[in-house]
Structure 1
């Protein structure tokens, strides 16, 4: 019971990366490549644990968020301004785009479980479910209490996890083929999909969100062991869910899908109504959790970049997540197809990740910030390896795009 009481920030990180983007990208990976990219997901989970541990340790020991520390530690004004603008653009503008996908994903889940619900306003066709999901996210964020959000998220994440894992069992996958999927293949096979899998698991904005959430929940180095246990448990749980989604898509033997909703529909004739129902419920939970964490992360980033005081109740903080949420609802309700936007967003995540990870790596090596808890030699070796892999994938992606021109 004591372990369950300590669940919180790590669960929110898992909730953030198991969104409709993850469901869509993992579904596309399973449909296009079968089980053969499970190894890429496994590496992504390991990388996520390494980088999120650095972020969590930073929040615990310094009592500040990542953007706060970057703003304070960069001494050259011009370089500081350039860095903060880069972070602001990548995270805030990016999160506004992700929010549309998050809400749309939740809508797909609602339409799978219930039915489509649209109405016309002049020439526009408005999706009523988008307004319901956006309104629900608004109310939950307006509560303004981290503890209340934490309890809600723990329930939603466990519900979502059960839904996707049960669906994977219902599809009766080939166990031997699954095991073969954990054997690394060629980086050239599905390079953009590999980068998307990394980008949807190791989410750049989570590095900011995690440090801020930890700094609010715990104070002092005595909680470091608890923080690490909670983190590892939460990320592994999220990783298992991602694998379950990929396995569902691979086992379904569907030729192509437009979005995760198509996967739910495709499962029904093969494995019965229960499979599509569980997948729809999981997608709904994934959309709701991510539609809350994306605006929340953006608000924390802006707060740190601009040096705002006050917590979740401050008007400035609320104004940021309200803007992000409204943009998400507007784009989602207009019925824009999310699959290509989501896929592009995850690839962009994979490209932005090395930049954010390098800043994090630099900060956690500053004795002025972490004192004796700065990175050890082993942590630096492992961290450098993870960042080098992220840089390699990013460069390889850019090279592939240039080659295709």
Structure 2
């Protein structure tokens, strides 16, 4: 970062404590997704272990996988954080000290915690772990942020309900790292602290069991009679997704240190596409703040991932009725994830790919790679790895060979047009 950018940041925030450039923090539901998140530009990833996290339905990580993921991330200069963000009942705390010490031994850089009991236990028994305050604490004022800093926490993940003006004020008042969600699913409740799931299914949202009841389809009754008109669609209580790709300068100017993407349950294609777009936007701004311009291809790339309708959350105004999804969602993404490149032969221009959804000759596809590498083409002849002709790649994880119009590299992705 240039001296002028640092000085300007100091004038805006009144503080010098901020990362050299904003950290791009990506979700990883399993080890494969972790590797793709880092490969496509994440500075850090957050994962879940087998206990104490709020995504019990994600694949989550064993300690061996955490260690492997940390070693892979370190090769790229990236870090791994572990979510331990449940609100614990008494029985949940059995074994928590040993669990946190194992995270420390596995090379994890930080935990993300909400419950003060977990925070205090980590500080006592695993002092090498940084403790970041989870968004589940609904922190949105500088006095609360200062309290947590005085408790020894170097970073606070602000509530999704925090506005841009409030972020500026917090950064001005408190010399601490601020992490903010900038992309992904929003919650119809306050900072995810919902009890609908508990009521309907006896699955505790705040202990990792959310059944996403806000996404269910509902009828409306008065007494025992439906009051919905005949033929009217059932409604949901789900909110639109957050997207701040068009507002990178505002986030940096406000003093946000870590840009967090939601989505540990999302696909490899989603994680790679979204990280790729934000990586390019952040790097472009940091390279030339005065000459920065939003590129349409970054916005297009976001649109090619599987998003719900998008908005800017609470950053600029309180979302109104138009920011919720009431009827069946139209699938906005015009592409499906089709394959991962595993090898490329420069002499023949032939790529070997691992199938993730069916494709066949004649289909329109795109290849994408880190840094915005991208090109479109039609699928030509297909063969298996022994050279036998294929009329379609239909088997999951099948290795397939095809000619590409430009060079590709391992971990590049192929997606198919479904317009």
> Whose strand fraction is larger, Structure 1's or Structure 2's?
2
Q: TM-score range by the shorter chain?
A: under 0.3
Structure with the larger RCO, 1 or 2 (CA within 8 Å, 6+ apart): 1
Give the TM-score of the pair, scaled to structure 1: 0.28
Larger Cα Rg: Structure 1 or Structure 2? 2
Give the TM-score of the pair, scaled to structure 2: 0.27
> Whose helix fraction is larger, Structure 1's or Structure 2's?
1
